[in-house]
């Protein structure tokens, strides 16, 4: 196993790297099985990997099980080189300022539903994390697919349950994933055989009892087929953009740099958008609510700023107007600095042998970034103590590589702008509707757990007290 068992057993990957950095310095290595992984918090090293030599690191770190590079179902996250460039070029317009302006009313509507659902609880102590999960999934389905599946109001919603099951499975290693770690040279082959076996079993099993990912895959396929058949449905959403770029599968070269996607790539990227935007944004909202409850001065300052811009007219809230809230912007960035979320995916894989700062890096070597050490480095985030939550530190111009919440370089998170607007709209609605107070007998310190995402282990409990409008 190398050091892999140690990391997985701990279930706090980020803190483990941070401890190793204290012991071994800014750049060192560990083993996943017999695969060496380089870890760094050296910004000069990171600049080489993520920016200056990004063409030599044009792939993500492989998962425990990984698709082949020429797999027809690869998505933006798993694809490499020219295939990744083609996909990114097609998808970039979805996240432009103009497109986000169109999606703004949908996000506002989803945030209004969140407040409506919370209002039904009355003045109450709640674990707010589950509500945020339903809100983010509701936003994704409406914005990406143009489909309203009643995610927030329906307690036993099957779509929500399946997505939650997929997330929970990332916390535990299956037997085949262990094989992928032990025999990393064969992880693509192992996954290929697993998919074949699951596809065969799916023919004999009730669809609702399928492995959640396969169930979700089928549902997305159904939505794509409906949209392709009914030409009268022409919404300006993510799925339409991808369908419009579709080319008949028989005529596409996966590695040609042309503005076309295959039908399998469309489905793969829709699922990626759904899963990547679900737990990350909801976790950021959970952390934000914890800060608001434990830092009443921050909550008051945000409430004052929002009131000064909107007054009592919350109809003015949209994707543009929330960008005018300077302190809210600092607050969100400070939440993401203090509670970084997707740390395990801030990594690259060497695709062409190279040397950085005297270290020879062979092809296929992963480079993982120790995000926590960077985000709490006093030299990067001073003079205010980085262990203190202090939004105004973002007023000062910093080294852009000191903030790794969305990665960096050409392969940074494509949905960053969408996530930030979604976060800000939800927070504005929440702060203007409620006074957010600490739960009774609740410690200020959160307990963490980490799979793909670093999240509060038991959710976040707060007391919501309705504001008198």
| Other C-beta atoms lying within 10 Å of the C-beta of residue 44 | 13
Number of H helices, E strands in the chain: 17, 11
Judge if the upstream peptide bond of residue 240 is cis by omega within 30 degrees of 0.
Answer: no
Cβ neighbourhood burial of 213 (10 Å; 0-12, 13-18, 19+): middle
Cα-only R_g, the chain: 22
Residue 413 known to bind ligand: yes
For the stretch 70-96, what's the b/e string if a residue is b when 16 or more beta carbons lie within 10 angstroms of its beta carbon?
ebebbbbbbbbeebbebbeebbeebbe
How far is the CA of 292 from the CAs of 286, 430, 451, in angstroms?
Answer: 10, 10, 25
Closest of 278, 41, 40, 28 to residue 139, by C-alpha = 278
The three-class DSSP label of residue 106 is helix
Task: Tell me how far apart the alpha carbons of residues 284 and 109 are, in angstroms, rounded to a whole number.
Answer: 20
Whole-angstrom CA distances from 219 to 162, 199, 439, 469 are 11, 15, 38, 42
Token reading at 371: 């995000």
Q: What is the dihedral of CA 37, 41, 44, 48, to 10 degrees?
A: 30
C-alpha dist (Å) from residue 131 to 75, 241, 279, 306: 29, 29, 12, 23
| Strand partners of residue 261 | 246
Instruction: Report d(CA 142, CA 217) in Å as an integer.
Output: 17
Annotated binding site: 413
Annotated binding site for heme: 413
């Amino acid at each position: 196993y190398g050091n892999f068992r140690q990391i997985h057993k701990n279930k706090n990957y980020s803190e483990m790297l941070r401890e190793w950095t204290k012991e071994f310095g800014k750049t060192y290595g560990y083993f996943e099985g017999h695969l060496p992984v380089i870890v760094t918090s050296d910004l000069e090293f990171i600049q080489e990997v993520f920016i200056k030599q990004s063409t030599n690191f044009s792939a993500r770190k492989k998962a425990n099980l990984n698709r082949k590079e020429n797999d027809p179902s690869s998505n933006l996250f798993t694809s490499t080189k020219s295939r990744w460039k083609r996909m990114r070029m097609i998808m970039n317009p979805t996240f432009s300022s103009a497109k986000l302006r169109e999606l703004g009313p949908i996000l506002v509507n989803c945030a209004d539903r969140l407040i409506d659902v919370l209002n039904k609880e009355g003045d109450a102590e709640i674990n707010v994390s589950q509500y945020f999960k339903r809100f983010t999934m509701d936003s994704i389905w409406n914005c990406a697919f143009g489909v309203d599946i009643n995610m927030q109001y329906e307690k036993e919603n099957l779509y929500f349950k399946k997505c939650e099951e997929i997330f929970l499975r990332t916390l535990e290693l299956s037997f085949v994933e262990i094989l992928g770690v032990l025999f990393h040279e064969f992880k693509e082959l192992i996954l290929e055989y697993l998919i074949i076996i699951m596809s065969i079993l799916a023919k004999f099993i009730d669809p609702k009892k399928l492995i959640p990912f396969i169930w979700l895959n089928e549902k997305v396929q159904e939505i794509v087929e409906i949209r392709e058949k009914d030409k009268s449905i022409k919404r300006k959403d993510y799925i339409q953009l991808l369908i419009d770029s579709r080319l008949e599968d028989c005529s596409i070269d996966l590695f040609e740099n042309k503005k076309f996607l295959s039908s399998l790539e469309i489905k793969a990227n829709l699922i990626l958008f759904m899963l990547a935007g679900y737990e990350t944004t909801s976790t950021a909202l959970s952390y934000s609510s914890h800060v608001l409850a434990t830092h009443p001065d921050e909550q008051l300052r945000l409430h004052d700023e929002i009131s000064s811009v909107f007054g009592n007219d919350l109809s003015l809230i949209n994707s543009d107007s929330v960008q005018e809230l300077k302190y809210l912007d600092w607050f969100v960035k400070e939440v993401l600095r203090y509670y970084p979320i997707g740390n395990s995916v801030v990594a690259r894989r060497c695709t062409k042998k190279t040397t950085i700062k005297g270290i020879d890096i062979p092809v296929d070597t992963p480079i993982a970034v120790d995000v926590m050490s960077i985000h709490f480095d006093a030299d990067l985030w001073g003079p205010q103590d980085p262990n203190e939550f202090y939004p105004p530190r973002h007023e000062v111009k910093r080294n852009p590589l000191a903030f790794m919440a969305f990665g960096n370089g050409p392969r940074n998170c494509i949905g960053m702008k969408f996530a930030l607007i979604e976060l800000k709209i939800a927070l504005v609605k929440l702060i203007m509707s409620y006074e957010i107070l600490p739960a009774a007998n609740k410690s200020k310190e959160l307990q963490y757990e980490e799979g793909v995402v670093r999240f509060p282990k038991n959710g976040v409990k707060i007391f919501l007290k309705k504001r008198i409008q």
